[in-house]
Amino acid sequence: MVCEAFASIAFSIMRRNTMTSNNRNDDALTQLYLCLRLCEQCAAECIEQGSASLANCIKLCLACADSCRLCIKAMSYGLNNSNDICQTCAQLCEDCAAECEKGEGDLMQRCAEACRKCAEMCRQMAA
């Protein structure tokens, strides 16, 4: 899958930037990146459909992708406030998942699933 290939490359780059790395962080970074990519793809597909009814899905997918990106950076840089960022990311992922689950397309369902997994991982990281 293309997302997994991108996640692997991104993970390699991020790992070099991380002072200390462990399996938990590695898994979280990978999940965050997969969620980010699927949210961007889902938003793009919804935009292409051009339906006003998908406006909220587009907004949530883009916000979720941005929050995942910020969380990745905060964790990669070892910022002290990454727990707060992870909590915010978890909430946006949950909101995005709930919206995408309403959709009928395969990509929307995969996005919702990735968001749910990401939200769970972010909550674990923030704990």
Residue, of 50 and 9, whose pLDDT is higher: 50
- Residue 76: its pLDDT value, please? 86
Indicate the Cα dihedral angle 108, 109, 114, 116, nearest 10°. 110
pLDDT tens, position by position, 36-84: 999 999 999 999 999 999 999 999 999 999 999 999 999 888 888 788 9
pTM: 0.81
Number of domains in the chain: 1
CATH number of the domain encompassing residue 79: 1.20.1270.360
| Contact by Cβ (8 Å): 85, 71 | yes
Q: Cα 3 vs. chain centroid, distance in angstroms?
A: 12
Residue-range definition of the domain harbouring residue 43: 2-126
